Amino acid sequence: MIELPLILVGGLLGSAHCIGMCGPLAVSLSAGATAGTNHLARQLVFSLGRVFTYGFCGAVAGLGGAWISSDSRSFVLSQAWLAILAGAVLLLMGLVTAGVLPRPAVKRLGGLPCGTAGWLKTFLTAPGWSAVLVAGVFTGFIPCGLVYAFLLKAGSSGSMWQGLLTMVAFGLGTIPLMVAVGYGGQFLSIVGRSRLFRVAAWCIVLTGAISIARGYAQLDPPTDMATAPCPLCEAQPLE
């Protein structure tokens, strides 16, 4: 899968976007721990919990995609459409994040639902590994546009394992920044962050464009061509 590394990068850079919501959780993870605990390990366990949830959701999406594809008349066709849809959503998300498009109702997903914060905090501040892991697992379920966009992508893969891999790649990508934030606090300046934001945004746009291109290629299989066209060539970001 050519996208997996790209998805990893998308996650890595896209997680700058996540800091707004999940960052405070990671920070409170350190704040709540008693002296002498291994902060880095706590952060890693927390992130593993998140990745676990992403993987789980990816598997569900993959299976769901497979089920939809098998149900409809042409297996290839619906998979292609899913890929195009996922690509379109990613593209839009990326463009919105980059500031090219105005920010629509995405704002509504921007705040942690108030009810959740309370009991999530119970886990975050509790001693012991299991609580931290569980906190990570539940954090993975927090509504996030980026996660949903990648979930669509996972669904378009049309296989449970590939869906799982897609989301795990995305999740692993988010680990470095989240751990860094949780471990060292706010280390990036505002300018640095906004610059990172832009790079991340275009990275997501690229992933989306590739997804669309692949879906399009599947939709209209080029019978006379020996190899599929390079998706990168077709999908230059709209600068």
Partner 1 sequence: MNQDASERYCAFCGLPVPASFALGVDSPADEIEYCCSGCRTVASVTEAEREQGAAAGGLLRLGLAVFFTMNVMVFTMALWSQDVYTDPSFSTPLAVILRSVFRWAALVFALPVLYLLGRPIAAGVWQALRRRAITTDLLILLGVSAAYAYSVVSVLRGSGHVYFEVSSMVLVFVSLGRWLEAKGKRRTGESLDALARLLPETVRRQTPQGEFLETPRGEVRTGDVVRVLPGERFAVDGRISAGRATVDQQIVTGESQTVAKSVGDLVFSGTLNVDGDLRIEVTAADGSETVSRILNMVRAARGAKGRHERLADRIAVWFIPAVCTIAIVAGWRQGQLAGWDQGILTALAVVLIACPCALGLATPLAVWTALGRAARSGVLFRSGLVLERLAYLRHACFDKTGTLTTGVPAASELLTAGHEDRQRVLQVAADVAGGSTHHLSQAIVRYAEQTLNERIDSEPASVETLPGRGLASELPGLGRVVLGSRWFMKETGLEWPDTIPDKVGEARQQVGIGWDGIVRGVFQFHEQLRPETTVALAACRQLGLELRMLTGDESSRASAIVEQLDISADSNQLPEEKAATLQSLAQEGGVAMVGDGLNDAPALATADVGVALGCGADISRDAAGVCLLGDDLRRFPWSVGLARQTIRVVKQNLFWAFAYNGAGIALAATGRLNPIWAALAMAASSILVVVNSLRLGQFPEPTPLSDEASSGTMTDAVSWPRPAADGPPPRLASTSP
Binding residues for partner 1 restricted to 100-139, rule: CB under 8 A: 119, 122-123, 125-127, 130-131, 133-135, 137-138
Helix axis angle for 145-156 and 3-32, nearest 10°, is 140
**10 binding partner 1? (CB under 8 A):** no
CB of 78 closer than 8 Å to CB of 68: yes
The single residue among 63, 179, 201, 206 that binds partner 1, judged by CB under 8 A, is 63
- Closest to partner 1 by CB, 137 or 210: 137
Q: Which residues contact 131 (CB under 8 A, 6 or more apart)?
A: 123, 124
Site string for partner 1, 67-106 (x = CB under 8 A): x-xx----x-------------------------------
Query: In angstroms, how far apart are the furthest CA atoms of the chain?
Result: 66
Closest approach of partner 1 to the CB of residue 211, in Å: 20
Phi and psi torsions of 238, nearest 5°? -80, 80
Closest approach of partner 1 to the CB of residue 164, in Å: 8
**37 binding partner 1? (CB under 8 A):** no
Q: Which stretch binds partner 1 (CB under 8 A): 21-29, 86-94, 154-162, 213-221?
A: 154-162
Closest approach of partner 1 to the CB of residue 67, in Å: 5
- Closest to partner 1 by CB, 38 or 130: 130
**Distances in Å between the alpha carbon of 188 and those of 13, 16, 23, 27?**
13, 10, 13, 14
How far separated are the first and last CA of the chain, in Å rounded?
26
- Closest to partner 1 by CB, 81 or 197: 81
**159 binding partner 1? (CB under 8 A):** yes
Length of the chain, in residues: 239
- Closest to partner 1 by CB, 100 or 126: 126
Total residues contacting partner 1 by CB under 8 A comes to 31
Taking the mean position of all CA atoms in its chain, how far away is CA 148? 7
Task: For residue 40, give both structure tokens.
Answer: 């880095």
* 2-20 per-residue burial string, b: 16 or more CB within 10 A, e: under 16: ebeebbbbbbbbbbbbbbe
Task: Show the DSSP H helices in the chain as ranges.
Answer: 3-32, 39-71, 75-98, 114-125, 129-139, 145-156, 160-184, 190-219, 231-234
Q: Footprint of partner 1 on this chain (CB under 8 A)?
A: 49, 52-53, 55-56, 59-60, 63, 66-67, 69-70, 75, 119, 122-123, 125-127, 130-131, 133-135, 137-138, 158-161, 164
